Amino acid sequence: MEDCIFCKIINKEIPSNIVYEDENVLSFKDINPQAPIHLIVIPKRHMTSVLEADSKTVGDIFEAINKIAKQEKIDKDGFRVITNCGKGAGQTVNHLHFHILAGAKLDEKMC
């Protein structure tokens, strides 16, 4: 989708601080972090939300999250994975994405 900011990041039209990339998934640091470590994980194929996700895409994303957690050394202390689906849930970018939050004790109410 040509006006999607995440698609522009995937196509390297907008700079980002990439922490992980493979043929299907890209992860980068959030520009407005909500925790000491706040990463965004996205499929390279555009889909609006989890409602459009297929099992292969979800599998690719969670395999990447596993690798990212180990790479960023957050696998031992713990981390949170969040996705929002739709405007009412707080989704602000209409490209399926997951947030990884870590680096501090996370408030149970913080999502």
CATH T-level topology, domain 5-102: HIT family, subunit A (3.30.428)
End-to-end CA separation in angstroms for the chain: 27
Catalytic residue among 38, 46, 97, 99: 97
Rounded to the nearest 10 degrees, how much is the dihedral formed by the CA atoms of 69, 70, 76, 77?
A: -40
**Quick check: 17 and 28 in contact, CB under 8 A?**
yes
pLDDT in tens, 27-50: 999 999 999 999 999 999 999 999
Q: Which residues pair with 100 in a beta bridge?
A: 39, 81
- Ordered by start, the domain boundaries in the chain are 5-102
Tokens 């407005």 appear where?
32
Which pLDDT score is estimated for 109? 53
Overall pTM > 0.95: no
* 97 carries an active-site annotation: yes
Cα–Cα distance for residue pair 67/90, rounded to 1 Å = 27
